Structure 1
Amino acid sequence: MTHAFDIVVVGAGMVGAALATGLGQQGFRVCLIDRLEAPAFDPDAAPDIRVSALSAGSQRYLDSLDAWDQITSMRSTPYRRLAVWDETRHPLSKLMPRQLTRVEFDAAGLGGSHLGHIVENSVTQRALWQSAQAQDTVTTLTGLSVVALEENDTTATLILDDGQRLEAQLVVGADGAQSKIRDLAGIGINRNQYAQQAMVMSVRYQGPVDDITWQGFCPSGPRAFLPLHSAEPDHPGESWASLVWYDSPEELARLKALPEEHLLQDIQTAFPPELPQLTHLEARASFPIARQHAKRYFSGRVVLAGDSAHTINPLAGQGVNLGFQDAQCLQGQLKEAARANTDLADPAWLQQYEALRRPANRRMMMTMDLFYHLFSNRVPPLHLLRNLGLGAARALPFARNQVARYAMGIDERLPAGLSQLIDRIPGLRQL
């Protein structure tokens, strides 16, 4: 059996569900397909181990999709401050007091009430599914996988594992870093595997919900704290948080094998003293870190968005925010294509999408790589350089806040001077 649509979106995670909703709002007949349904929300359950720091720009986009109110009706935690500092202990540390190399961003200094929200991925996905299913022009299919792709001059056809055929002008691959759609379209990738991995943990701590998220940088990688919601009334005086520990695969394997009590002790010792007193470890998981970029964002009648097109070092939690920017940009290009009464897979529109998104995505990739290489070492000159840099950022609030406004999605563009500097880095254009 063949079903006809304007667009088929493969992958109903956060980015795919957002894109399907936006396209449905614009009147396109959309099919959203995934092997799994969005997880149900249980207000009494412990938080999802996967969380994201959603920027102000992402909040605006999700609000336009009628998903933001649904997110806040479930669970979200605004953070008003963000801090970074160097935790490396070295004789050169004595040249600059620790408090002078701590940089803190505050929403009040940026003209806002908050910098962003920490939200469980399952909550964001559930809200977007509800928004997608509220669109009369969006059809959702679950429990099915794509096994083949056929293309001709007018349509693309996806063949599913149950024999169904989905026909459309355009197929969007939003099915993640290991994208099957990208492979079927014959689009290659450039990939760089980092030596580090990341372990994420859901924990409870003694104290109220905090309004700050922070990262302390160690030679083996950052230690990060992301505040979540209150654990009351079941656990009076306690709150939930998500922790991230970057380190070598061997060290993380050792930590994952520890009993809860011993792991909590190691966390309390290894993390900066700003970490509150932990009371419970709910869950732990680790994953490799890689920078990955598709060699093209489209081929024929297939176009990529989100992690299918790019993954970055998760240092600043920008991955899903970049994916939402992809979705918003692609929506705009397809809206113009429909207005011009042209083929939705017309290369002119898809090239414009790639021309807008590839430079922005690779610039963020290189920025995260600079942070990674600058902070993940004990080389004395670099240690002094990064401390001087943090000290300068503390002393120059105007420049610091310009960068912060870009990172938080308040401003659309990176400050011109920094953007030009990053664009001149050798190898950037190959990403």
Structure 2
Amino acid sequence: MTNEKTVQQFDISIVGGGMVGAAIAVALSQAGLQVALIEKQAPPEFEPDSAPDLRVSSINLASEAWLATLGAWPVLERMRLCPYQRLQAFEQPHSIVTFNAADIKRSHLGHIVENNLLQLALWQQFGANVRLFCPSSVTALEQTADSAIVTLDSGEQLSSKLVVAADGGNSQLRQLAGIGSNGWQYRQACLVALVNTPYPQQDVTWQQFTPSGPKAFLPLSGQQGSVVWYEEATKVKQLAALSPAQLTQQLLKAFPPQIGEVEVVASSWFPLARMDANRYYAGRVVLAGDAAHTINPLAGQGVNLGFADAKLLTELIIDARRHNNDIGSAQLLQSYQRKRKPANLLMMSAMDGFYQVFGNDIPPVRKLRQLVLSVAARSTMLKTLVARYAVGSE
């Protein structure tokens, strides 16, 4: 049994201080809740001359607006980020479909942001209501009718009305809470490379669809960009083992002319997997972000789904607190699951369907794909709808 004399009390404990977990901590602490945040590693300080992080995300306007209310977005703007006004999709380089911010009367469709900088901008919003346990990890979980107690590797014990698992796709807390998951590993893997380009800062992100997998370019600040190359896992591992100069040559052979004479600076790779938790809560443990779902990163929607989880969850908690209701009640957590699980599943299924249609070289499917792109290229209404969806509009 837990020794009550040694237990530290908080309103909320959050396991995982990445982008989603940190955003939840900021939102709840700003509403006056006492928050414990448990994270294994702090983000590095920003150095203006440092190379961009290989891990980047496409942040849509809905996520951007919420991050601005938390105070993180202005901080990020003073560091480094890149807006884009156009999004292009094509199979052949001469048949491009362009979705433009101007079509929906917006200045931009989104921003390409380095993950570690967004995390740092959120960490800089922590105030007196956030108690940071870092470096630290959870070793045990105990639940009672009205609280959840986590034990840290330091031996400290934290009790709260609710524990948020925001510790990623391989969430340890999800496992400790006994929540199962479904999913699979895709046959493809993903190579990401930081490249120098011969162009000034670009305002377009594009994606080419091929039978072997998509190839994409995301603009970064200045004359740099991020290249994303989906391929069969064995080939990706081989590409990742090449020197920057060797990888540059392979990339120039495989990518469309739009890429230009780029030069690889650094690269990494990761496997692709889909995971959906069987449920989003158990007792007083609730899942958010990648701990609840991981998605094929085809359209860069993963972190935006995580922020949508975080925004709804924090709104429900803050409302419950305002009305003196239990912030870890089954009713609250059911409401969260009822709204977010179907929305996340829909996006996951849509990305899988997209993946199948555009990663298939069967003649009838290829003709259908070409027809869809042809219609999209000519339809202002369809392009407007896609652009609105891309920015996170309902």
- Superposed pair shares fold, TM > 0.5: yes
Aligned to 1:271: 255
Deviation at 1:262, TM superposition (A): 2.0
Contact 2:99/2:386 (8 A) holds in 1: no
Q: Partner amino acid for 1:109?
A: D
> Which residue identity is paired with 1:119?
V
Q: What secondary structure, in the 3-state scheme, does the structure 2 residue paired with 1:229 have? A: coil
The 3-state SS of whatever aligns with 1:181 is helix
Query: Aligned to 1:119, which of 105, 113, 121?
Result: 113
Residues 1:352 and 2:344 aligned together: no
Say whether 1:182 aligns with 2:174.
yes
The alignment's C-alpha RMSD in Å is 1.0
Give the corresponding residue for 1:257.
241
Q: Which amino acid is 1:151 matched to?
A: Q
- The residue type equivalent to 2:238 in the other structure is R
Letter in 1 for 2:240: K
After TM superposition, the score normalised by the length of structure 1 is 0.89
Unaligned runs of 5+ in 2: 1-5
Aligned to 1:92: none
User: What residue in structure 2 maps to residue 11 of structure 1?
Assistant: 16
- Which ranges in structure 1 are unaligned for 5 or more consecutive residues? 88-97, 231-238, 413-431
Runs of 4 or more, structure 1, over 4 Å off, are none
Q: Is the 8 A contact 1:46 1:282 kept in 2?
A: no
Q: Deviations over 1:370-389 (max 9, x none)?
A: 11000112111111101100
Deviation at 1:272, TM superposition (A): 0.9
Match of 1:236 in 2: none
Equivalent position SS for 2:36: strand
The residue aligned with 2:3 is none
Mapping for residues 59-208 of structure 1, pairs under 5 Å: 59-87=64-92, 99=94, 101-131=95-125, 133=126, 135-208=127-200
Q: 1:197 is paired with a residue of what secondary structure?
A: strand
Corresponding residue to 1:243 among 220, 227, 231? 227
Q: Which residue of 2 aligns with 1:288?
A: 271
> What's the offset of the Cα at 1:258?
2.1
Shift of 1:343: 1.6
1:43-62 matches, cutoff 5 A: 43-62=48-67
| CA displacement 1:145-168 (0-9 Å, x = unmatched) | 100001111211000111100010
Native 8 Å contact 2:38 2:136 kept in 1: yes
Report the CA distance between 1:291 and its aligned residue: 1.1
CA deviation map 1:370-411 (0-9, x unaligned): 1100011211111110110011111211122113212211x2
Distance 2:44 2:243 in 1: 28
Instruction: Tell me the amino acid that sits aligned with residue 76 of structure 1.
Output: L
1:84 and 1:321 mapped to 2: Cα distance? Answer: 20
In structure 1, give the amino acid aligned to 2:124. Q
Distance 1:177 1:260 in 2: 29
Give the Cα–Cα distance (whole angstroms) in 2 for the partners of residues 399 and 282 of structure 1.
37
Maintained 8 Å contact 1:151/1:301: yes
One-letter amino acid of the counterpart of residue 201, structure 1:
A
Q: Are 2:101 and 2:387, in contact at CA under 8 Å, matched by a contact in 1?
A: no
Letter in 2 for 1:53: S
* CA-CA distance at 1:136 after TM superposition: 2.1
**Does residue 317 of structure 1 match 2:300?**
yes
Contact 2:211 2:360 in 1 (8 A): yes
1:35 paired residue number: 40
TM-score of the superposed pair, with normalisation by structure 2: 0.97
Q: String of CA shifts for 1:298-318, please: whole Å, max 9, x gaps.
A: 000100000000010000100
1:376 aligns with 2:359: yes
Shift in Å, 1:340 = 2.8
Q: What's the CA shift string for 1:269-296, capped at 9, x where partnerless?
A: 10011002113x2211111111110000
Tell me what 1:299 maps to: 282
